[in-house]
Amino acid sequence: MNKLKELFVDFLSCFDVWRIEPYFERCKKSFLQILIIISFFIDLIYIELSLIYRLDSKLIYNILYAFFLAITLGLLKFNKVKLAIYTYLVGLFALFTGYLFKGFIHVLFWFHLIPVVAAFFFSLPQAAIISLVAFFIEILGILIALKDGRIDLPAQKLNYFIYDAFLSYIAITVTILIFKVFLDRYFETVQHILDYDPLTRVFNRRKILHELEKEYERSKRFKQPLSILMIDIDHFKRVNDTYGHLVGDLVLQKVAKVIKNSIRKIDLVGRYGGEEFLVILPGTPLQGAVRVAERIRKKIEEENFPIVGHITVSVGAAELREYDDIESLIHRADEKLYEAKKSGRNRVKF
């Protein structure tokens, strides 16, 4: 009973945090758990009524639905929320199309849509598993339809009809899964082009600002510290003028690599401007951000760059304050960067 209370309290709290992505996943899980509990309760009542009134076909459909609910709960236990939602919906289709269309039509219609829909919402292995499960459910649907006498076909044509349905299902599934491979690769490529700077292979300005907005919302909501670093390569114009833009590109690439290797996995880095980088440090107060900035500055100062030799960077650090918005946070980091430049470069200001 206490577990049930905790579940409902967790669900009600979702109305306050639903916009924050990691918690949105938790909310979907809580909502589905409550939905399954209600569905189980209704389904058990209907199974009991089916036993009392000897409604054999309805009993089979409801037992099948209970089986789907059990699978959904198992998936939720392993945090497969999206797959659980899909399984729950397939269970609903298996139940209600059997009622609405009097049996066999759902075999030919809904279950042929399963691999199509799965391909758009899941990875290739998951879509293949879902399609395989749906294939066996299709067999079960035909057996139910046979038992109920809902298939009005001559006996000699029935085998051909079932065989043709299976072949068409397999053909659709294989075609969709092949298409899924190409579609996934296409979207990955497009997303990478949209999110990453092609030269330095870190986030571009649009993406890093989008990530900063998410971290800002999370920090404000849960009152966690958030700091950023603005990093600018000293005398970069001189590098381009002296050695050419190709050498300048190599310097940018190596600086980006040093920054990435100097921060945690949860930290984020993006190319903010020409030779300027923005680093987001979630859960990090200003003192911690300054330590990270000093580490980056020293590593770049000690690095031997091809042709150029040694270069330096200036860093401005800022921590999110109570009345900050994103613009004011970036503005303060920019001001500190300008201070670092003005006071001699190759230093961190905060």
Indicate whether 13 and 161 sit together in one domain: yes
Question: Mean pLDDT over residues 115-141, rounded?
Answer: 67
CA-to-CA distance for 278 and 264, rounded, in angstroms? 14
Indicate whether 290 and 159 sit together in one domain: no
Q: Residue 100 to residues 8, 51, 95, 104, 129: CA-CA distances in angstroms?
A: 33, 21, 9, 11, 27
Q: How confident is the model at residue 159 (pLDDT cuts 50, 70, 90)?
A: low
CA-to-CA distance for 165 and 176, rounded, in angstroms? 16
CA-to-CA distance for 348 and 315, rounded, in angstroms? 5
Final residue of a domain: which of 175, 195, 215? 195
Indicate whether 128 and 173 sit together in one domain: yes
Indicate whether 244 and 161 sit together in one domain: no
Indicate whether 98 and 74 sit together in one domain: yes
Indicate whether 50 and 187 sit together in one domain: yes
Domain residues for the domain of 258 are 205-349
Higher model confidence: residue 46 or residue 279?
Answer: 279
CA-to-CA distance for 132 and 127, rounded, in angstroms? 9
Indicate whether 164 and 42 sit together in one domain: yes
Q: Which amino acid is at 93?
A: F
Indicate whether 160 and 130 sit together in one domain: yes
**Per-residue b/e over 267-281, b at no fewer than 16 CB within 10 Å?**
bbbbbbeebbbbbbb
pLDDT at residue 279 greater than cutoff 90: yes
Dig out the tokens for 150 from the structure.
């809902």
Instruction: For residue 200, tell me if it sits in a domain.
Output: no
Q: What is the pLDDT of residue 42?
A: 66
Q: What is the pLDDT of residue 163?
A: 65
Q: What is the pLDDT of residue 73?
A: 74
Instruction: For residue 333, tell me if it sits in a domain.
Output: yes
Instruction: For residue 99, tell me if it sits in a domain.
Output: yes
pLDDT at residue 13 greater than cutoff 60: no
Question: Mean pLDDT over residues 254-258, rounded?
Answer: 95
Final residue of a domain: which of 176, 195, 214? 195
Domain count, the chain: 2
Secondary structure class of 344 (helix, strand, coil)? coil
Q: What is the pLDDT of residue 103?
A: 45
Q: Per mean pLDDT, which range of 31-40, 71-80, 181-190 is the poorest? A: 31-40
Indicate whether 158 and 224 sit together in one domain: no
Closest to 137 (Cα-Cα) out of 76, 67, 78: 67
Indicate whether 290 and 162 sit together in one domain: no
Q: What is the pLDDT of residue 75?
A: 73
| Contact present, 283 and 267 (Cβ < 8 Å) | no
Q: Which amino acid is at 7?
A: L
pLDDT at residue 148 greater than cutoff 50: yes
What CATH number is given to the structural domain containing 270?
Answer: 3.30.70.270
Indicate whether 37 and 171 sit together in one domain: yes
Q: What is the pLDDT of residue 151?
A: 57
Q: Per mean pLDDT, which range of 144-153, 274-283, 333-342 is the poorest? A: 144-153
| Catalytic residue numbers, as ranges | 275
Instruction: For residue 82, tell me if it sits in a domain.
Output: yes
Indicate whether 289 and 190 sit together in one domain: no
Final residue of a domain: which of 195, 230, 264? 195
Q: What is the pLDDT of residue 312?
A: 94
Query: Average pLDDT, whole number, for the chain?
Result: 76
